[in-house]
Structure formats: C-alpha cells, structure tokens
Homo-oligomer: A and B are copies of this chain.
Amino acid sequence: MASTDPTAKLLYFDDFVVGTVFMSDNQSIGKEQIIEFASEFDPQPFHTDEVAAEATFFNGLAASGWHTAAITMSMLVRSGLPCAGAMVGLSADIKWPLPTRPGDVLHVETEVLEIKALRSKPDKGIITLQSNTKNQNGDIVQSMLTKVLIPKRK
C-alpha cells in the first residue's frame, strides 16, 4: 500500500497504476464548523442545533453529508491524491453509511480502480477512484466512486 508523504513525487496520468492506494493527512471537524456549513447549505435541525438534534434520526448533531463530501475533496487536493496537475471531477457516486460527528478526525483512503486513455483528449485521461472517508475509529463515513480527468505528462 503506497502512502502519500511530502517527498512523494506528483503524478501525471501516465504515472497512475491500478491497485495503488493513497492515504491523505488527517483533518478534524468541530461543532462550530458543522453548524456554520449546514446553516448555509443544509439548514436542518440535526445539522444546525445541538439540542434539537438529540430528538432526531441522528440522535445528536451530525455533519451534512455535503460537508463530509467537501472535506473529502479538501483532503484529496491537499494530500490525498498527489496529482501534478488539475483534478477535474466528471461524476461521483456517494454513499453515507454513518454520520460525521463533532470532534471526528477524518482521513481519506483512495484506490485506483481503472485507468482510461481518451482518443478525443490526447493530453488527458480518465481515472476511476474509490475514495473511502474514515473517522478515527476506522469506520467509513463516506464511500465515493469518482471519475476524474487527469493531465498526461507533456
């Protein structure tokens, strides 16, 4: 299992190998961030009100799934996928098996599933990735299959 470290070289499409797994750095998420994000983008009581959240489906404050998705992207860009160039998402299939909670420390583990050159775009290719976002207990809070456009070495 390959892991990402600061000395790892940045990868072009040509460098990716099916089966490689990349690990991101950790990122913590606090109560204030959960409430702030949800107040703007997903204003439902279980995401915005610690007390009201107790009596809901989630039995306590939980991050919006879109917040978990956004933090996952942040971890992929900053450390989780050492791309030399742009990472342009074409599609994403997401599941949220468990909520993200205040105080969780997340990281994302990404496996390269498929590599596809494009006749129509000689300077780029499509890589299919499985990114699992896990909390400090190793539980998966988000699983995501994505197709991303990645530049080739010039």
Interface residue ranges, A against B (CB under 8 Å): 37, 40-46, 56-58, 64-66, 69-71, 73-74, 77-78, 86-96, 149
Contacts and interface: CB of A to CB of B under 8 A. Distances in A.
Nearest to A41: B70
A44 B94 contact: no
Given A91-B95, A94-B91, A94-B94, A86 B57 contact: yes
Nearest to A92: B94
Given A56-B86, A65-B89, A73 B41 contact: yes
A91 B69 CA distance: 12
Contacts of A94: 91-94
A77 B43 contact: yes
Contacts of A90: 95-96
A42 B88 CA distance: 10
Contact of A86 (B40, B46, B77): B46
